[in-house]
Amino acid sequence: MPSDTTDEQLSLVASRLRSAASVVVLTGAGVSAESGLRTFRGATSADLPPDMRTLWAEFDPAKLATPEAFQADPAMVTKWYDWRRLGCLAAEPNPGHLALAAMEHALRRRGVDFTLLTQNVDRLHQRAGSSNVVELHGSIIQWRCTETGTTLTPPPEPMQRFPPPSPFAPGALLRPDVVWFGETLPELAIATAVDALQRCDLFMSIGTSAVVHPAAGFIEIAAAVGAFLAEINAEATPVSRRVDVSVRGSSANILPKIVQASQP
Ligand code: BJW
């Protein structure tokens, strides 16, 4: 049953962090909202400018984020992803990213297990200093050859041609190394996630609408092993009533407070 006040909620999460032996955090696009990156769905924090419409409110995912879309119009799809790639490169980690990195390092120093599962493709967690990051939906910073699967990191400037030709095989293209709808998640990422979830005693879902599977189902793996379940999100999600504590607000604002309150 969620507790009543934000102060109580923050203390509750902080105290669980202090006593945890194994922590799993699942993040989504909301964590990067304060870095100026648009989320796919949902409400954005009141602190953000009104022109930050969600991506799927403006663009059709079926025409951009599926293998069929890429097959039908590779130039349009790669152009859109290159625009987003440049946006991610220009963005900076925000206090939420930094707090999660600080959380990881503080927990590790105490011998606590910590795994950060992210659905984000922007690499901002890594740039903030998080080291054990599992990219469930790949990375937009890295692109891969449609023939050989070889990956490369394009330079931080707009690509010259759309669709970009692959340097690895004649006639092949480069596509973003992300996971589109209908594609399976990287095997190693799933295996690492399930392994961490099966031994965690604290699970935190942060800045995700909790609707995209399989990540949306991870909470049930943590619940099955009796983990304490917490959520931090700008608005209610399908897991808000499932968790032990649901903190409503911006992760950039709340995470630093939780990390601060969890210091021994
Ligand atoms: C803040 C905030 C602030 C704002 N602070 N909070 C089972 C049931 C039903 C369907 C399926 C199922 N299993 C598989 C499916 C199909 C599909 C799926 O889940 N569809 C659902 C939409 C219904 N899943 C797949 O296809 C996956 N593949 C798969 O399962 O393979 C096996 C299989 C295939 C086919 C059939 C069955 C099985 C692949 C999913 C790939 C998702 N790809 C994308 C695009 C990546 C590339 C790109 O960047 O373009 O990944 S879609 C998009 O959604 C992106 C995200 O990672 C993902 C999740 O979004 P996220 O991170 O939760 O962000 P938002 O925007 O949704 O939410 C942000 C939240 O933050 C909101 O709540 C805000 O309020 C909040 N917020 N500001 C805190 N400051």
- The pLDDT profile of the chain, 264 residues, written as one tens digit per residue, is 444 458 999 999 999 999 999 999 999 999 999 999 999 998 755 555 656 788 998 899 999 999 999 999 999 999 999 999 999 999 999 999 999 999 999 999 999 999 999 999 999 999 999 998 999 999 999 999 999 999 999 999 999 999 999 999 999 999 999 999 999 999 999 999 999 999 999 999 999 999 999 999 999 999 999 999 999 999 999 999 999 999 999 999 999 999 999 997
**C-alpha pair distances (Å), 65 with each of 72, 142, 179, 234, 241:** 12, 16, 8, 24, 30
Name the residue at shortest CA distance from atom 74 of ligand 1.
42
Nearest to 40 by CA among 181, 148, 228: 181
State the virtual CA torsion across 5, 216, 79, 155 in degrees, nearest 10: 80
Name the residue at shortest CA distance from atom 73 of ligand 1.
209
Distance CA 81, CA 64 (A): 9
Mutate to test the pocket of ligand 1, among 48, 118, 213 (most ligand atoms within 8 A of CB): 213
Asked if residues 140 and 86 have their Cβ atoms less than 8 Å apart, the reply is: no
Cβ neighbours, 10 Å, residue 8: 13
Model confidence, pTM: 0.96
Taking the CA of residue 254 as reference, the ligand 1 atom at the shortest distance is 5
Class of residue 4 by CB neighbours under 10 A (exposed 0-12, middle 13-18, buried 19+)? exposed
What pLDDT shows up at residue 98? 98
What pLDDT shows up at residue 53? 83
Ligand 1 center–CA 213 separation, angstroms: 6
Specify the pairing of strand 245-248 against strand 138-145: unpaired
DSSP SS3 for 20: coil
Residue 39 DSSP class: P
Ligand 1 center–CA 100 separation, angstroms: 21
Q: Name residue 168's amino acid.
A: F
Nearest to 98 by CA among 121, 85, 119, 116: 116
Altogether, the residues listed in the chain come to a count of 264
User: What are the structure tokens assigned to 111, written together?
Assistant: 């011998």
In sequence order, what are the residues at sequence separation of 6 or more whose Cβ sits closer than 8 angstroms to the Cβ of residue 54? 38, 39, 40, 41, 42, 44
Residue 29 DSSP class: G
Beta carbon of 237 within 6 Å of any ligand 1 atom: yes
Ligand 1 center–CA 253 separation, angstroms: 23
What pLDDT shows up at residue 5? 55
Beta carbon of 184 within 6 Å of any ligand 1 atom: yes
Q: Which residues are catalytic?
A: 137
Name the residue at shortest CA distance from atom 7 of ligand 1.
213
3-state secondary structure 142-162: EEEECCCCCEECCCCCCCCCC
Beta carbon of 30 within 6 Å of any ligand 1 atom: yes
Distance CA 9, CA 3 (A): 6
What are the strands, taking DSSP E only, across 3-137? Answer: 22-27, 113-118, 133-135
User: What are the structure tokens assigned to 133, written together?
Assistant: 């990051």
Distance CA 86, CA 73 (A): 20
